[in-house]
Amino acid sequence: MTSERIDNDHFLSLTDKIETVQGIWDLPLIGAEELDIEHRYQILTGGPAVTLQGVNGCFVQSDAEEMFQLQECFDDNKYQLGSLAALEELKERIVIENIEKNEAETLLEQHKEARKKYLESKENQPKLSNYYPAGGLPQDSVLVVRTAALREFEQKIADEDDKDMKGVKESTRKTDNLLSALTAIAIDDYGYDPESPKSNAPQDIAEAMSKQGISFDPRTIRNWLREGAALLPSKRYKN
């Protein structure tokens, strides 16, 4: 049994048993499957190709407790002498390069001998030795998104929109309260009259703020007071 480190807190214990899995599996995105997804995304969006390769293999999981590391057989590896994949590669080469019959027969005979050695070596080794971690998802795999995952994503977006809207409402409420308070103080302490276009209160407030090291144009303060007056409950202070 071997272990693969998933993150700082989790390890995946791998047994020596080779199993065949079928059906729908989730992608934990901790190995080469993450690179495959990124590569396919870049292809769909016209982005750059993902050339990185995973060293720990490709993983799938059915739930939080069961996870598998996908394996590839050396017989499917065209670089393995004597493999079926190497034979298919050789046949394709013979056709593409239009290799003469005698030379082609020699190459096929060489592969036949390599095949015998490969099978003999395979029989004398544990079954696990005939496999190695897959470099990516199977070529015939189909990517799907679970309906539940789509619903969860939609809900997440909706929750974020609600949160943003609440933040906007809260900010607006605070601004209104501050404008109302400023206008009430201006009326009581600076003699501000919302109905008078020539009130000296904005200038007086600007001078008071300047003494505290804060500089504002009196016209800006006048606009604030007009907005604040419109928020006050007394009708005579509304525009």
Residue 41 falls inside a structural domain:
yes
Q: Are both 26 and 124 inside the same structural domain?
A: yes
Tell me if 112 is assigned to some domain.
yes
pLDDT digits (tens, 9 = 90+) for 131-187: 999 988 988 888 888 888 888 888 888 877 777 666 666 778 888 888 889 999 989
Query: What pLDDT score does 164 carry?
Result: 67
Residues 125 and 48 grouped into a single domain: yes
Q: Indicate whether 151 belongs to any domain.
A: no
Alpha carbon of residue 205 to chain centroid: 52
Q: Could you give the 3-state DSSP secondary structure of residue 148? A: helix
Same domain, 133 and 167: no
Q: Is 215 part of a structural domain of the chain?
A: yes
In which domain, by residue range, is 63 found? 2-144
The number of beta carbons lying within 10 Å of the beta carbon of residue 219 is 11
Q: How many domains does the structure of the chain reveal?
A: 2
Per-residue pLDDT reduced to its tens digit, 179-206: 889 999 989 889 888 888 788 898 999 9
Res 239: pLDDT: 45
Residues 117 and 183 in one domain: no
Return all residues near 230 (Cβ < 8 A) that are at least 6 apart: 237, 238, 239
Same domain, 178 and 115: no
Query: Does some domain include residue 155?
Result: no
pTM of the model: 0.56
Domain boundary among 144, 175, 191: 144
**Residue 194 belongs to a domain:** yes
157 occurs within a structural domain: no
> Each residue of 83-108: b (16+ CB within 10 Å) or e?
bbbbbeebeeebeeeeeeeeebeeee
Report the chain's mean pLDDT, rounded to a whole number.
85
Same domain flag for 87 and 43: yes
